[in-house]
Amino acid sequence: MKRIGMLTSGGDCQALNAAMRGVVKGLSENVDELEVYGFLNGYKGLIYGDYRLLTSADFSGILTKGGTILGSSRQPFKQMRVPDANGLDKVEAMKATYHKLNLDCLVILGGNGTQKTANLLREEGLNIIHLPKTIDNDIYGTDVTFGFQSAINIATDCIDCIHTTAASHNRVFIVEVMGHKVGWLTLYAGVAGGADIILLPEIPYDIEKVIAAINKRTKAGKGFTILAVAEGAISKEDAALSKKEYKEKVAKRKYPSVSYEIADRIFKETGVEVRVTVPGHTQRGGSPCPYDRVLCTRLGSAAAKAIMDENYGNMVAMVNGKIKYVPLGDVAGKLKTVDPNDQMIKEAKRIGISFGD
Amino acid sequence: MKRIGMLTSGGDCQALNAAMRGVVKGLSENVDELEVYGFLNGYKGLIYGDYRLLTSADFSGILTKGGTILGSSRQPFKQMRVPDANGLDKVEAMKATYHKLNLDCLVILGGNGTQKTANLLREEGLNIIHLPKTIDNDIYGTDVTFGFQSAINIATDCIDCIHTTAASHNRVFIVEVMGHKVGWLTLYAGVAGGADIILLPEIPYDIEKVIAAINKRTKAGKGFTILAVAEGAISKEDAALSKKEYKEKVAKRKYPSVSYEIADRIFKETGVEVRVTVPGHTQRGGSPCPYDRVLCTRLGSAAAKAIMDENYGNMVAMVNGKIKYVPLGDVAGKLKTVDPNDQMIKEAKRIGISFGD
Amino acid sequence: MKRIGMLTSGGDCQALNAAMRGVVKGLSENVDELEVYGFLNGYKGLIYGDYRLLTSADFSGILTKGGTILGSSRQPFKQMRVPDANGLDKVEAMKATYHKLNLDCLVILGGNGTQKTANLLREEGLNIIHLPKTIDNDIYGTDVTFGFQSAINIATDCIDCIHTTAASHNRVFIVEVMGHKVGWLTLYAGVAGGADIILLPEIPYDIEKVIAAINKRTKAGKGFTILAVAEGAISKEDAALSKKEYKEKVAKRKYPSVSYEIADRIFKETGVEVRVTVPGHTQRGGSPCPYDRVLCTRLGSAAAKAIMDENYGNMVAMVNGKIKYVPLGDVAGKLKTVDPNDQMIKEAKRIGISFGD
Amino acid sequence: MKRIGMLTSGGDCQALNAAMRGVVKGLSENVDELEVYGFLNGYKGLIYGDYRLLTSADFSGILTKGGTILGSSRQPFKQMRVPDANGLDKVEAMKATYHKLNLDCLVILGGNGTQKTANLLREEGLNIIHLPKTIDNDIYGTDVTFGFQSAINIATDCIDCIHTTAASHNRVFIVEVMGHKVGWLTLYAGVAGGADIILLPEIPYDIEKVIAAINKRTKAGKGFTILAVAEGAISKEDAALSKKEYKEKVAKRKYPSVSYEIADRIFKETGVEVRVTVPGHTQRGGSPCPYDRVLCTRLGSAAAKAIMDENYGNMVAMVNGKIKYVPLGDVAGKLKTVDPNDQMIKEAKRIGISFGD
């Protein structure tokens, strides 16, 4: 007999359902009795005891279903120790819910922030298993996170579509890819889509070098240029500002995002028409790709094994192509960003992709 | 022996290549000798004699290729009678190129503006065949234009992706669909994607009714609402302005497009988070869908027949499911907009879709 | 207050759920009280009173879901008047279920055979509305059936994939497309996919002409040839046989389908390697394409209107682009096959596609 | 100045062009003068001196293009030392072509067989770089081969489509996945597609256990079962035969492949209708997925670096997520098959997938 709780927290992504299906299938095939408590809308459901008792039928047929059947919400780690409007201590409330339901463990699917709270709950004595979810691929200690490949596919489709229209009209196009702090998604989608210029949060750009790269293409007779720009791309000037100065500058910016600002600069300096495309939240949506479905089925199945083995306190991760259990204490709070000297950056530069640096 | 000229003009779209392939295959299978002059970048190539002599090999393997192998550009009809910077009369220049190359006819692929110029050239004595291209589906005299279905597919994919993320987060989402003056694309993509609210240029919206529709869903326990909004969606107040007043208002608008303005209003009045997605030019790009490939192969083949029959001066159109030759003089300058009493609007309203009116 | 029954019968296809959603949304938005009885597995559920009382929640989120939430089965029209193993008269049993539940009407989604039974029930005094479903597009009296465009997309994807591998290896490839008696699906997918040879049930082929078409391509330096072959493609010799003789011949055939037989003949006569691909039931599966979703939403909404107007006994059809109510008595038992002189066949031949005739 | 030869050999797959583009872009951006000799149709072109001198324009825009611009053919390793019909020694002929063109090196894209010949040429003194291509993922010494993920996507799409139709009709479906000797593709597509039973060449199946797995599902109220079956799936009885006995048995088999034989057995023992789908060569075709495009761009760029460094005799591989140069002598002739005790097999079994063993 096992009683497990489950929740999905933070920005949603593809394959959350696939991962939960893996956990529940793994358990229901191997455990005599199973009770699954699905907490609604992330940690909120755990805090306020808002849950549904789920049966294995709830997890049937959801392998390919986008989103999360449990709902999600963002509950910043920093707020976890701050009492809510009614004075409720959220951490104590979560522990109370856990103990009241007499859970064997809590399976938590989420990204970096979620992981920090998961680790906190572990420190508070709860049995925790974390599954690394995020389109950003920025979780430390795993080769890859789920949602990442599905998001790459959508952003790349977008660049593919832009390619044909760009070629027909001799224009500059900017595709704005999700990622405020981390550029993995932009890097992979940019390389996969054949972008000419890729701007990442981790490699501040020099607008003159961006323009030089465009002009180089024009001189070579290539009438169009495609830029894959991360939401968090930043110029060298802005990167030199203090956090406060930068925030003030952004607040005053008349453009809805940095892509529009870059577009404006390029147009002013080259006279070439620039178009901006913002696929936005589509990058989190739709059916998970086969890669993510395999990944999540494996992670979920391995989580089920951990529960049967009472092996708690870990993130179930992919390490060098093998499933590993990585202690949450070793990874929580760490971020995996793009190293400007990463092998893949060098490979991209070698074939002529500019990073504006 | 046939000598034909060909050009693609206006905003590019899917299946331009498929249509040209149909024309050239139809001719090269049936005509002893064939010379195809491909004018580059729309009417510009015809004006300045910028062309390539193409062989049937150029048209092999392009059925599925997006964009146009000839390039395109926008040459407004109104500018056609205005001499260029060097004093060149563009219409006379086009006629001169045509006669110099001793063409049997000119096959012109384009939308409404392109069609007007095509009709002008016909009036000037050239042999013209027009193929109705546009993602807007606003060409009068044909059931459908090519590019339309492919664009629907892309915009619908976008709404599909948004659906899963919207459902996970209980948010309001706006997907901005192409179409400044005409709402067919938004209407079809909105219905296909299961949007809850659809705002079209032809049906000015009342923001209070939009908000009421959102609130109705919230009360019914549906946590999210999706709006498909045409680029040219317009409020009742703005629709009441004179053209001049409206232009001035838009110029002052701090939002990059009407979707952002609507998002802001909804957020202010409901307190619900609103996210905007702008697929933009992706809607013109990528490989044509099978529907458009069949349509274009048929239109192209029928254009080849018209050339062999020396049957000129027409748009090759689909009328009640059959290919017809429609005199350019009967259709040029007319626009097919969405009638607010269209059968499909009524059908959509019947199932609960709000148009904000 | 309305009490309606609903069933899906025959081979399943895409957009059945989308159509049912349209009906139920249309009614639940406009009718005070609504009871929906969903009969399981086609007419079987109606015969044996096997149903579920459905709520509007059952129809939420199924716009994009393939298959049918009601299940389906094939119940041949000819068997309807034959008592079952227990001596039950099926027609009387269906009437009894209908009257026992005191239904206002029965909404039946299905193809030709289904339509004949629907018409029989109408003749027996039941209120019937029929929605034209089939990937074969062979229902008389409507421009198009739902499922058709989705199936075209899948079969065309298949041909697209084959194209790249065929071109790399200089081989002949056969893609076997669904359709035992009717060739619309093969014709449209063949043209959309750029097949070189298309073999349909309605146009018996001469194998020598098929081989000549292959050799013509080889001589023209085109190393590969792609055939789109309907399941029911038939040679001129076989078409000349009596039905009985043909059945006997097929029974003795060592190949699982005609495609393998054609492949063998081509290999023997040309020495070129031939590969056969059988996408099979994938052509009925997956999420409906946007075209079918729009079509079904419209048909469903119009069916809801008919129910509110108590306008029964019709197929809800698309006629010249407009929704029409077509009396079942006018169309039941008729089949819409490909006319060998159809405009589209001529267009296809004009661009060099061989039909082997 | 660099003079390189390039060829693609064996069964084609996705992303061959993407890989070649990576090599050529990497060189043309960094080397003063570059000559690229593209040998046509695999080793055949090298043997008979059949090549085209390619420019960087040939490699522009081919990132997303399926197939290979060089053509391919199968030239079994065993035949390489056997003189051709005219008595020509093929290995000597290849060396002669290489030396005559004064090549710096030869970039060879191919699978296991290709790799063995590549290693032979290395032993004969040529400068060789090998890129690991195959949808089978069976090359020893690399995490993954290119083509594999694209093929998974296609096979999974196929299973996805079958899922909806299977669920509607309560049938058993078999999807036959490519792979005569190695089951990676079937394993990954099976898990990604949610197959219930997966049969691999490496794990001989007991038909009674397969049937038991189907019956277990039926008892659990799940009306349908999906099998992903590798082309080379083999029963325990057949696996016990000698190679000769097995060949004779297969030659007598009346079914075109093992899937049909399994279908027949299941039908006879359960009475449930079974349908077989054979996606076949579609699994090698179409545009490469973003995963493969990134992989090939990286491999290609790293091959360019190796050429500049005159670092020859290696396969450019992905090892634990990093690009590595793996000596051909260490890996040629080795096959990476599915270990029946592989972690992923255990994970799959844990969630209830049967392997029939």
Mean pLDDT, to the nearest integer, of B75-102? 94
| Chain A nearest CA to B329, separation (Å) | 29
> How confident is residue C343, by pLDDT bands cut at 50, 70 and 90?
very high
Mutation site, A20, A226, A282, interface B, largest B CB count within 10 A:
A282
| DSSP secondary structure of C286-351 | SSPPHHHHHHHHHHHHHHHHHHHTT--SEEEEEETTEEEEEEHHHHTT-B-PPPTT-HHHHHHHHT
Tell me which residue in D25, D160, D343 faces A323 most closely, judged by beta carbons.
Answer: D343
What does the alpha-carbon distance between residue D15 and residue C137 come to, in Å, rounded to a whole number? 36
User: What Cα–Cα distance (Å) separates residue A339 from each residue in A141, A156, A182, A346, B69?
Assistant: 15, 22, 10, 10, 39
What does the alpha-carbon distance between residue D344 and residue D76 come to, in Å, rounded to a whole number? 32
Centre a 10 Å sphere on the Cβ of residue D268 and count the other Cβ atoms it contains.
10
Cβ separation C301–B63 shorter than 8 A = no
pLDDT top residue among D188 and C11: D188
Residues of C in contact with D169 (CB under 8 A): 11-12, 71-73
Cβ separation B350–C305 shorter than 8 A = yes
Query: What are the strands of the beta sheet with D225-230, ordered from one edge?
Result: D197-199, D225-230, D172-177, D274-277
Task: Supply the pLDDT for residue A240.
Answer: 96
- The two tokens of residue A165 are 């229209």
> How confident is residue B349, by pLDDT bands cut at 50, 70 and 90?
very high
- Residue B246, amino acid: Y
Contact by Cβ (8 Å): D115, D138? no
Mean pLDDT, to the nearest integer, of A103-124? 97
What does the alpha-carbon distance between residue C25 and residue C35 come to, in Å, rounded to a whole number? 12
C38 at the D interface (CB within 8 A)? no
Ligand-binding annotation for A112, yes or no, is yes
Tell me which residue in A158, A163, A285 faces B165 most closely, judged by beta carbons.
Answer: A285
Task: Supply the pLDDT for residue C221.
Answer: 87
Give the residue among C21, C15, C19 at the shortest CA–CA distance from C65. C15
Length of chain C: 357
CA B214, B219, B221, B223 torsion: positive or negative? positive
Query: What are the strands of the beta sheet with B172-177, ordered from one edge?
Result: B197-199, B225-230, B172-177, B274-277
Quick one: which H or E segment has residue A7? strand A2-8
Whether the predicted pLDDT of D169 surpasses 90: no
Residue C188 main-chain phi, psi, to 5 deg? -70, -45
Query: What are the strands of the beta sheet with C197-199, ordered from one edge?
Result: C197-199, C225-230, C172-177, C274-277
Residues of D in contact with C67 (CB under 8 A): 163-165, 167-168
Burial of C271 (0-12, 13-18, 19+ CB in 10 A): exposed
pLDDT in tens, C92-119: 999 999 999 999 999 999 999 999 999 9
Give the residue among B153, B163, B135, B146 at the shortest CA–CA distance from B277. B163
What does the alpha-carbon distance between residue D256 and residue C124 come to, in Å, rounded to a whole number? 48
Whether the predicted pLDDT of D180 surpasses 80: yes
Ligand-binding annotation for B282, yes or no, is yes
CA D42, D44, D46, D50 torsion: positive or negative? negative
Task: Supply the pLDDT for residue D164.
Answer: 87
Residues of C in contact with B143 (CB under 8 A): 321
| Percent of chain B predicted with pLDDT > 90 | 88
| DSSP secondary structure of A194-209 | T-SEEEBTTB-B-HHH
Contact by Cβ (8 Å): A51, A39? yes
- The two tokens of residue B238 are 């703005």
> How confident is residue A223, by pLDDT bands cut at 50, 70 and 90?
confident
CB interface of C with B, residues 112-151, below 8 Å: 143, 149
Task: Supply the pLDDT for residue B56.
Answer: 85
Q: Which residues contact C329 (CB under 8 A, 6 or more apart)?
A: C119, C122, C123, C313
Whether the predicted pLDDT of D72 surpasses 80: yes
Task: Supply the pLDDT for residue B74.
Answer: 87
Number of H helices, E strands in chain D: 13, 11
> How confident is residue A146, by pLDDT bands cut at 50, 70 and 90?
very high
Give the residue among C136, C109, C95 at the shortest CA–CA distance from C42. C109
> How confident is residue C169, by pLDDT bands cut at 50, 70 and 90?
confident
Task: Supply the pLDDT for residue C256.
Answer: 81
Q: Residues of D annotated in the binding site for substrate, as ranges?
A: 134-136, 171, 178-180, 231, 275, 281-284
Task: Supply the pLDDT for residue A288.
Answer: 97
Mean pLDDT, to the nearest integer, of B7-34? 96
**Mean of the per-residue pLDDT values for chain D?**
95
Question: How big is the CA angle at A312 (ends D188 and A5), to the nearest 5 degrees?
Answer: 80
- The two tokens of residue C172 are 């002949």
Whether the predicted pLDDT of D309 surpasses 80: yes
What does the alpha-carbon distance between residue D162 and residue D175 come to, in Å, rounded to a whole number? 8
Burial of B152 (0-12, 13-18, 19+ CB in 10 A): buried
Whether the predicted pLDDT of B165 surpasses 90: no
Q: Which residues contact B299 (CB under 8 A, 6 or more apart)?
A: B19, B22, B131, B132, B146, B316, B317, B318, B323
pLDDT in tens, A163-221: 988 888 788 999 999 999 999 999 999 999 999 999 999 999 999 999 999 999 999 88
Q: How far is CA A286 from the centre of its chain?
A: 15
Tell me which residue in C149, C189, C301 faces B351 most closely, judged by beta carbons.
Answer: C301
Whether the predicted pLDDT of A254 surpasses 80: no
Mean pLDDT, to the nearest integer, of B145-167? 95
**Mean of the per-residue pLDDT values for chain B?**
95
Give the residue among C236, C144, C130 at the shortest CA–CA distance from C185. C144
Whether the predicted pLDDT of B254 surpasses 90: no
Mean pLDDT, to the nearest integer, of C24-47? 96
Task: Supply the pLDDT for residue A257.
Answer: 87
Mean pLDDT, to the nearest integer, of A259-287? 93
CA B140, B144, B149, B152 torsion: positive or negative? positive
Mutation site, B350, B353, B354, interface C, largest C CB count within 10 A:
B350
| DSSP secondary structure of B116-148 | HHHHHHHHTT--EEEEEEETT--BTTSS--EEH
CA distance between the termini of chain D: 58
| Chain A nearest CA to B352, separation (Å) | 24
Task: Supply the pLDDT for residue A132.
Answer: 98
Mean pLDDT, to the nearest integer, of B154-177? 92
Contact by Cβ (8 Å): D100, D313? no
Centre a 10 Å sphere on the Cβ of residue C250 and count the other Cβ atoms it contains.
15
pLDDT in tens, A305-356: 999 999 999 999 999 999 999 999 999 999 999 999 999 999 999 999 999 9
ipTM score: 0.97
- The two tokens of residue A260 are 């529009």
Q: For strand C51-54 and strand C34-39, is the pairing parallel, antiparallel, or unpaired?
A: antiparallel
Task: Supply the pLDDT for residue C132.
Answer: 98
Q: Which residues of D115-131 are buried (b: 16+ CB within 10 A; e: fewer)?
A: bbbbbbbbeeebbbbbb
**Mean of the per-residue pLDDT values for chain A?**
95
Name the CA dihedral angle for A41, A43, A49, A52, rounded to a multiple of 10 degrees. Answer: 40
Task: Supply the pLDDT for residue A253.
Answer: 81
DSSP C198: E
Ramachandran sector of residue D102 (left: φ over 0; alpha: ψ -120 to 50; beta: rest): left
Mean pLDDT, to the nearest integer, of D231-259? 91
Task: Supply the pLDDT for residue B252.
Answer: 84
B25 at the C interface (CB within 8 A)? yes
Show which residues of C are catalytic. Answer: 136
Cβ separation B286–A170 shorter than 8 A = no
Number of H helices, E strands in chain C: 13, 11
Task: Supply the pLDDT for residue C75.
Answer: 87
Task: Supply the pLDDT for residue A251.
Answer: 84
Cβ separation D65–C281 shorter than 8 A = no
Mutation site, A73, A168, A176, interface B, largest B CB count within 10 A:
A168
Whether the predicted pLDDT of C41 surpasses 90: yes
Tell me which residue in C12, C16, C162 faces D282 most closely, judged by beta carbons.
Answer: C162
> How confident is residue B327, by pLDDT bands cut at 50, 70 and 90?
very high
Whether the predicted pLDDT of C149 surpasses 90: yes
List the domains of chain B with CATH numbers: 2-146+288-331 (3.40.50.450), 151-284 (3.40.50.460)
- The two tokens of residue B260 are 């952002």
Contact by Cβ (8 Å): D189, D294? no
Contact by Cβ (8 Å): C89, C312? no
Quick one: which H or E segment has residue B164? helix B148-169
- The two tokens of residue C41 are 């597995």
